Amino acid sequence: MSQMRLQRFLSAAGVASRRKAEIWIVEGRVTVNGQTVTELGTKVNSDKDRVEVDGEHIRMPDAPLYYLLHKPPGTVCTESDPEGRPRVHELLPPGLPRLFTVGRLDWDTEGILLFTNDGKLAKALTDPKIAVPRIYEVKIQGAPDPHLVRRFNEGVRLDDGRMTRPSPTEIIRRTKTNFWISMVLTEGKNRQIHRMTQACGRRVLKLHRVNYGGIVLTGLRTGQCRPLALHEVEMLVAAAGLKRTRRANARVQKMRAAEDRRASNRTGPPSDRNDGKESSQKPYSKPRRPQRSKGKPFNEKSGSNRPGKGRAKPSTKSRSQRPQRKPKR
């Protein structure tokens, strides 16, 4: 495994966040191969170096973990809350290494929440340039409004002046005083759906995320969690575009290997190279064919375009100046 910064190693091992790990390093609580380290730029190798925090050996997990939680309303997605509110990490099974959330949901929002220690996949899933789709079901106060749906489909200007991306939206059901819509987001601005609805003069009553990159909450009750299946992880990898990147890298490696083989065939084996000595024989070169210029006859005997003995010189006299033959009687 390649080297990485010490604080990143501690974060990937699941013992603390990067900021907290930096504090531990500065306080002198971290040792590498028996020596106390206080410099934040120190790099370690998880396969060779022994890292300890307060005398406890820290190991890198063997494989990344992926968990799905049906987040209940009234919980926060932070690892520590100074107000003491319920946290989503308390709903995970005990004994797991440190897992972080893929994005966040608001205090009163429920639905799909992913946990993992795969930083590369988590970063790709939340990257607005990749635009992984997330589907929400939203309960809005008041009668159904086609104008609101049209504005969501085209994009809404928020209170800070920024324009949202077009969000495909449709009305899915109605009640006497409210209505539900289904909308697709490909970006994650802070409280985006609430702010979009407020910009249209309405208010969100309930918000439920029902799909994240193809992952759904089938058979999972509120507050329950489960590990993702292999096909679900592959679905997220494909949605994040990482599978195409891996295939492209493999294709580049094959092309480089083929180019190396062609280069070795051109140079030949060492025995055919005369050990670096130059050969006395001149290399064979194909004889050049004489080029024929336009508008001039070619003399095959002389090998040039100039008139010679092999061919009669063309006359320069006009037709009227040439001697005419006498007709036969």
Q: Domain-by-domain residue ranges, the chain?
A: 4-58, 66-127+220-242, 134-212
- Catalytic residue, from 49, 106, 127, 145: name it: 106
Interstrand relation of 204-212 and 110-116 (parallel, antiparallel or unpaired)? parallel
Q: How many other C-beta atoms are found inside a 10 Å radius of the C-beta of residue 203?
A: 12
The dotted CATH code for 134-212 is 3.30.70.1560
Return all residues near 186 (Cβ < 8 A) that are at least 6 apart: 128, 131, 132, 133, 134, 165, 167
Do 66-127+220-242 and 134-212 have matching folds? Answer: yes
Which is higher by pLDDT, 14 or 215? 215
Q: How far apart are CA 103 and CA 93, in angstroms?
A: 20
Residue bearing the bigger pLDDT, 16 or 93: 93
Residue range 4-58 forms a domain whose CATH class is alpha beta
Task: Find out whether 19 and 64 touch, Cβ atoms under 8 Å.
Answer: no
How far is residue 206's CA from residue 194's CA, in Å, rounded to a whole number?
10
Residue 309 has pLDDT above 60, yes or no: no
Q: How confident is the model over 226-238, as a mean pLDDT?
A: 92
- Grouping H, G, I as helix, E, B as strand and the rest as coil, residue 284 is coil
Cα separation, 203 vs 175, in Å, equals: 15
- pLDDT for the residue 273: 47
Is it the case that residue 18 has pLDDT exceeding 90?
no
* Token pair for 82: 């100074």
Indicate the class that CATH gives domain 66-127+220-242.
alpha beta
Predicted structure pTM score: 0.64
pLDDT in tens, 133-159: 999 999 999 999 899 999 999 999 999
Is 106 assigned a catalytic role? yes
